[in-house]
Structure 1
Amino acid sequence: MGRQTEAADERERIRLDKWLWAARFFKTRALAREAIDSGKVHCRGERCKPSREPKVGDELQIRCGFDERVVIVQALSAVRRGASEAQQLYTETPDSLARREQAAELRRAGALGLQTDGRPNKKQRRQIHQFRDGH
């Protein structure tokens, strides 16, 4: 009987870097570990280590690139599966989802205004000078 409870404990124990990889936040475990080590993943508001064992109900703050997600662990898995199955391992908080969408919208709006081809050519410089001098 003792062996069955040990086996059940082993199934529920998983490293945080492995869970992040299985939940498809990072392409490899090495990238997940690097993100945790560099402070881009927080568990319950605190920095954590790759060996930390997440539990169902834990709140994780994960920063990937420009996006920061706040997710709640719904299930544990050490196996990387399809994206639809991986999304069942967590739920993103509504506040986090709204902030990510707003940030994406701002990036899109800012990117439209900042597109340049580099320095102006001779014709464009003449037009700038004409506009500036009022001719």
Structure 2
Amino acid sequence: MAEKEKLRIDKYLWSIRAFKTRTLASDACKAGRVKLGGNNIKPSHEVKVGEVYTVSKGPDKRVLKVTGLLESRTDAKTAVMFYEDMTPVEETTAFKSMFHAPVLTRDRGTGRPTKRDRREIDDLKDDFFN
């Protein structure tokens, strides 16, 4: 809970639970997935209160504003107080999930699809994606 004057971006992202490990946060910085004002930053970049970072993690893209410096990793409820999530609604996972294709499943034990079943599945997929 103690606030520090200097804090590295990789340690900050780890402590606010944006990444599971500090190594993953450091690797994301090195790969250019963490940006400040559109510019890539190094893992050793010093975090300042009020800065806005863009963090890409797989298909998710988050915009985080620093509201406080958190030195060590704490529980999720406490970590939320040290950043503000400014991600637009269009880019959130909940919004994207509405547009995912339905998963086609078959009942367990029905065996392989017949030629007729396969054609029906293909027609269904073509209608959905076109």
TM-score over 0.5 for the alignment? Answer: yes
Residue type of the alignment partner of 1:90: Y
CA distance in structure 2 between the aligned counterparts of 1:99 and 1:124, rounded to whole angstroms: 37
**Is the Cα contact below 8 Å between 2:90 and 2:96 reproduced in 1?**
no
- The gaps in structure 2 that reach 5 residues or longer are 107-111, 122-130
**Is the Cα contact below 8 Å between 2:89 and 2:95 reproduced in 1?**
no
Match of 1:106 in 2: 96
1:126–1:16 distance in 2 versus 1, CA, 3 Å: closer
Relative contact order, CA 8 A, sep 6+: which one is greater? 2
Match of 2:124 in 1: none
Q: Tell me how far 1:64 sits from its aligned partner.
A: 1.3
Calculate the TM-score normalised by the size of structure 2: 0.76
Q: Specify which structure has the higher proportion of helix.
A: 1
Deviating beyond 2 angstroms after TM superposition, the runs of 4 or more aligned structure 1 residues are 103-111, 115-123, 125-128
Q: Deviations over 1:28-87 (max 9, x none)?
A: 000000111111100122110000001000010001121111111000012100001111
Match of 1:4 in 2: none
Q: Tell me how far 1:117 sits from its aligned partner.
A: 5.4
Backbone CA RMSD of aligned residues:
2.5
Larger Rg computed on CA atoms: 1
Pairing of 1:50-129 with structure 2 (within 5 A): 50-93=43-86, 96-101=87-92, 104-112=94-102, 115-116=103-104, 120-125=113-118
Calculate the TM-score normalised by the size of structure 1: 0.73
Match of 1:6 in 2: none
Query: What is the total number of aligned residue pairs between the two structures?
Result: 114
1:58–1:121 distance in 2 versus 1, CA, 3 Å: same
Find out whether 1:35 has 2:25 as its counterpart.
no
